[in-house]
Chains A and B, each alone.
Chain A
Amino acid sequence: AQTVTQSQPEMSVQEAETVTLSCTYDTSESNYYLFWYKQPPSRQMILVIRQEAYKQQNATENRFSVNFQKAAKSFSLKISDSQLGDTAMYFCAFMNNNNDMRFGAGTRLTVKP
């Protein structure tokens, strides 16, 4: 079974600075997808970014980028130029070949003015 580990329960960052959220996973599969979802206080799950395991290039979406290290099974999220609206829970997720997705425990990010 796949497991996803987020070792940082809480993090904070000053507005306009950069923060990195860590995620590691365990799998024996070679092809899979990885995701970061944002959950603001409304509790809606919002897709931030995704990465296909077969792609070596790290995914980027505006201020959000990932550092995907397949051999190390690491998938960290970097948020540049942090904004107050980035305050939320962030969940790392792994999806296998059967489209089954599992989530990490989440990291609560607070952006301070």
Chain B
Amino acid sequence: EPEVTQTPSHQVTQMGQEVILRCVPISNHLYFYWYRQILGQKVEFLVSFYNNEISEKSEIFDDQFSVERPDGSNFTLKIRSTKLEDSAMYFCATLRGAHQETQYFGPGTRLLVL
């Protein structure tokens, strides 16, 4: 069964550094999402992406964050200058079509900012 994959599984970075989290969606999926989960807290929506542009973003998704799908396969989340509070699990999710189907989640990237 096709799966969403994410790399890296873990990343440790220094405060102020840039990080790029990568997601490979299921091949025929058209809608892409990033979520964040701070340890012990709920899963929070960051951004949705369709047709090579952002569909919606939350208040968390400020100017330090950006997303793109540069090569038509990888879907990336960039944090330009990481802060301590960016430490969290970041999940990518993808959805096939526009008919309210199921979002499939990747295994997540655990980001630790020191």
Contacts and interface: CB of A to CB of B under 8 A. Distances in A.
A42 B55 CA distance: 30
A98 B55 contact: yes
B43 A45 contact: yes
Contacts of B31: 99
A91 B42 contact: yes
A99 B43 contact: no
B103 A102 contact: no
A32 B100 CA distance: 7
Nearest to A44: B107
Interface string B74-114: 00000000000000010101010010101111011010000
Contacts of B42: 91, 103-106
A28 interface: no
In terms of DSSP, what is the predominant structure of the interface of chain B? strand
Contacts of B18: none
A99 B108 contact: no
Given A44-B107, A45-B105, A100-B56, A95 B43 contact: no
Interface residues of A, number: 26
A95 B91 contact: no
Nearest to A91: B43
Interface in A65-97: 91, 93, 95, 97
B90 to A, nearest CB: 11
Interface string B13-50: 00000000000000000010100010001111100100
Contacts of A106: 42
A31 B41 CA distance: 28
A97 B102 contact: no
Going nearest first, the 4 A-B pairs with the smallest beta carbon separation are: A45-B105, A103-B43, A105-B42, A33-B100
